[in-house]
Amino acid sequence: MTIITNLGFERKNAKVLISKNGQQATVCPKGTNCYDIDVEENDKIDIKLKCLDGSILPIASFIVQKGKRTYYVCPSTLYNRWSNLSYKYLPYLCIFFFVLQAAIPSERYKWFCTGVLLFTVLSLLALQISQLVPHIQTKFFKIEII
């Protein structure tokens, strides 16, 4: 069976741990995206990340199905949208509003800019903290059978 992983840009330095029926099957080195392991039908496969700080985060768990030989683990739509919002759109929107603040000398607008900045910071913090919670971490990845 082949397991293909796409962990996303910020997790490219993490090692992938694959266990079969609760016992560790393989530890995959950094930068490897395709893994071949011997399995039988109804074996339970767990995929975990070992990050640089030593923490181990579960990202996927599934039971091998008959005739399905390739599994693709990738970031979910929820994670892609949240990371795009937090890293790509909100910081630039925040900078735009603060530059525009010079042209709009209103006290309400200053509070609005402060609110946008606070929302940006809270979104970034929540995204980083949620990656440390195993229950939420599993929602950040999806499994596709190819």
Tokens of 127: 């995204």
Lowest-confidence region among 18-22, 37-41, 75-79, 131-135: 131-135
Classified by CATH at the fold level, domain 2-76+137-145 comes out as Immunoglobulin-like (2.60.40)
What are the extents of the domains in the chain?
Answer: 2-76+137-145, 78-130
Provide the pLDDT for residue 10. Answer: 64
Provide the pLDDT for residue 51. Answer: 77
Tokens of 15: 């090692």
CB 35 within 8 A of CB 71: no
Q: Tens of pLDDT along 102-132?
A: 898 899 999 999 999 999 999 999 988 887 7
Beta strands in 1-146 (DSSP E): 2-5, 15-20, 23-28, 34-36, 44-50, 56-63, 70-75, 141-145
Percent of the chain with pLDDT over 90: 28
Provide the pLDDT for residue 12. Answer: 66
Lowest-confidence region among 6-10, 19-23, 28-32, 72-76: 6-10
Q: Tens of pLDDT along 37-70?
A: 888 888 898 988 887 777 788 888 888 888 888 8
Q: Which residue has the tokens 């199905």?
A: 65
Instruction: Indicate whether 92 pLDDT > 90.
Output: yes
Provide the pLDDT for residue 11. Answer: 67
Closest Cα partner for 136 from 57, 46, 45? 57
CB 74 within 8 A of CB 144: yes
When pLDDT is averaged across residues 77-100 and rounded to a whole number, the result is 92
pLDDT band at 2 (very low <50, low <70, confident <90, very high): confident
Percent of the chain with pLDDT over 70: 97
Tell me how far apart the alpha carbons of residues 115 and 99 are, in angstroms, rounded to a whole number: 15
How crowded is residue 70: how many other Cβ atoms within 10 Å of its Cβ?
12
Cβ neighbours for 143, distance < 8 A, ≥ 6 positions apart? 60, 62, 71, 72, 73
